[in-house]
Amino acid sequence: MKLIPNVKMHCNDHHHHENKNYSRRDFLTKTSLGLGALSLGSLISPVNVYGQSDFLNLLDSPKMKLPHFIPKAKRVIYLFQSGAPSQLDLFDYKPKLNEMFGKEVPKSIIGEQRLTGMSSGQNSFPMAGSLFKFNQHGQSGAWMSELMPHTAKIVDELCFIKSMYTNAINHDPAITMIQTGSELPGRPSIGSWLSYGLGTDNKNLPEFVVLVTKGKNGQPIYSRLWGNGFLPSQHQGVQFRSGKDAVLYLKNPPGVTSGIREEQLKSLKKLQKIQHADIGDPEILTKISNYEMAYRMQTSVPEVMDVSDEPQYIFDLYGEDSKNPGTFAANCLLARKLAEKDVKFIQLYHRGWDQHGNLPRDIKKQAKETDQATAGLIQDLKQRGLLEDTLVIWGGEFGRTSYSQGMLKPDNYGRDHHPRCFTIFMAGAGVKKGITIGATDDFGYNITERPVHIHDFQATLMHLLGIDHEKLTFKFQGRRYRLTDVHGNVVNEVLA
């Protein structure tokens, strides 16, 4: 055998040195996917995070996966009502407000609580009882406004929490908090945490899908609300849109066939693996995974977005709007289809609930757009056996004041932001049916029974999915973060 003299063999020739002074930093950098994956193995599924890496497949064992305990829910459909629906006109019946219509809210009730700049300068805070009739429904006797007749028919499937409260008094920080656990932008959203922790049950669709009602005005909805924050980028939500392209930039450009695209991805993957072997940045593997997912979605997304084979009785169940792509009703129907495909977290946003004035007129429209579709979704999930392992959530970011913002008239009023109490409801997997948790005072202003903070709600949601909210963490900038920050307790009264 001939030896070639004066040739030094290096792992990376372009470094031009033997790297004899191999530092601790070099070691940690080069082995980040070894030691790092081992340390994170108990929190994530490596295959789901890093694609089909042979090395990480070795770590894909049951001992290194969530859930922490047996989950009740496999997936979540979150029907987020942006702008803050008035609990006093929908769910939280307060006859005393009608009896004292126009009289001042007692100062002892408001106390030292802060008000928004929109109503703090008012000389008067007249009580505004709801103009809408309330009745009790079902065996549970839950109070519901006449605005929600379809939801009223299924109250025995629902768990109401009438004692929710939050820290934020304005929309942006309040929405950010209920979606990410922090008032400050930049944290991962609920769906991103679940994607990171639980991975996927369907490799052809994203774990986290977002549907936004088209043509609605009101408080803006930012893409950071479904962002991944500091988690790997593959865990961000993917927005599905109505119209020609459900997912932007998914289709091949003219002249590029599916075969060409596949060969391109194979070549790109080889280059990225070389780069990853050199640099060790896990985001490179995330990019590979994202590209491969996009390729598979070229087939799976058109299929799931196609509702042409749905029978007429299903459209009747969800309401006439369900045939109009991009409406709340149509998105509820898509949410059911995505649930059938085992998408982990399905987030709907419906704007228009921010009613500082003309509330009686505007809330009718909002309720009409959402009531039947919400009830239809829950009934449809139930008849298909999906409600047993699907958690459905309905609610906004905070509540509304019991006093009128601006001038109070016999047939008109507005309501300002009220973070001290509001109502949400849940249905489905692991949730008690036909119960109401918490209560507010006769003025609908303060909580009197079982306060439930945003972080408590988030801890409970994660518990239903088999996650201990204190254990699912991610280290970023020297600190271990979690969805519930350093707060939150599971609301055991919710659990079936």
- pLDDT tens-digit map of 71-109: 999 999 999 999 999 999 999 999 999 999 999 999 999
DSSP letter, residue 357: S
Mean pLDDT of 257-264: 85
Could you give the CA distance from residue 360 to residue 490 in angstroms, rounded to a whole number? 36
Cα 260 to the center of its chain, rounded Å = 36
SS3 of 209, please? strand
Q: Which residue has the higher pLDDT, 19 or 116?
A: 116
Confidence label for 487 from pLDDT (cuts 50, 70 and 90)? very high
| Alpha helices by DSSP H, 223-281 | 258-279
Instruction: Out of 257-266, 359-368, 381-390, pick the least confident.
Output: 257-266
Could you give the CA distance from residue 44 to residue 194 in angstroms, rounded to a whole number? 10
Confidence label for 248 from pLDDT (cuts 50, 70 and 90)? confident
CB 80 within 8 A of CB 349: yes
What CA–CA distances, in Å, run from 12 to 8, 411, 430, 495? 11, 78, 54, 56
Closest to 413 (Cα-Cα) out of 219, 28, 131, 186? 131
pLDDT, position 299: 87
Say which residues have a Cβ less than 8 Å from residue 477's Cβ, sequence separation at least 6.
230
Could you give the CA distance from residue 62 to residue 274 in angstroms, rounded to a whole number? 30
Please state the pTM of the whole predicted model: 0.85
Q: Which residue has the higher pLDDT, 166 or 48?
A: 166
pLDDT, position 16: 39
Instruction: Out of 301-305, 338-342, 431-435, pick the least confident.
Output: 301-305
Say which residues have a Cβ less than 8 Å from residue 349's Cβ, sequence separation at least 6.
80, 82, 210, 211, 212, 213, 221, 225
pLDDT, position 64: 45
Could you give the CA distance from residue 331 to residue 241 in angstroms, rounded to a whole number? 9
Residues 385-417 as b or e (16 or more Cβ within 10 Å = b) = ebbebbbbbbbbbbbbbbbbbbebeeebbbbbb
Confidence label for 460 from pLDDT (cuts 50, 70 and 90)? very high
| Rg of the chain over all Cα atoms, to the nearest angstrom | 26
pLDDT, position 37: 45
Residue 56 has pLDDT above 70, yes or no: no
pLDDT tens, residue by residue, 304-340? 999 999 999 999 999 999 999 999 999 999 999 999 9
Say which residues have a Cβ less than 8 Å from residue 133's Cβ, sequence separation at least 6.
145, 146
Could you give the CA distance from residue 339 to residue 207 in angstroms, rounded to a whole number? 11
Residue 9 has pLDDT above 80, yes or no: no
Residue 59 has pLDDT above 70, yes or no: no
Residue 404 has pLDDT above 70, yes or no: yes
Residue 55 has pLDDT above 80, yes or no: no
pLDDT tens, residue by residue, 273-300? 888 888 888 888 888 888 888 888 888 9
Q: Which two tokens stand for residue 203?
A: 């490799």
Closest to 337 (Cα-Cα) out of 246, 250, 251, 426? 246
Other beta carbons less than 10 A from residue 437's beta carbon: 18
Q: Which two tokens stand for residue 368?
A: 């009409």
Q: How far apart are the first and last CA of the chain?
A: 75
Phi, psi torsion values for 301, nearest 5 degrees: -70, -50
Q: Which two tokens stand for residue 194?
A: 């679940």
Cα 74 to the center of its chain, rounded Å = 14
Other beta carbons less than 10 A from residue 22's beta carbon: 10
Instruction: Out of 57-61, 210-214, 250-254, 302-306, pick the least confident.
Output: 57-61
Closest to 434 (Cα-Cα) out of 78, 142, 77? 142
pLDDT tens, residue by residue, 163-222? 999 999 999 999 999 999 999 999 999 999 999 999 999 999 999 999 999 999 998 999
Cα 250 to the center of its chain, rounded Å = 23
Confidence label for 261 from pLDDT (cuts 50, 70 and 90)? confident
CA angle, residues 343, 184, 229, in degrees to nearest 5? 40
Residue 35 has pLDDT above 50, yes or no: no
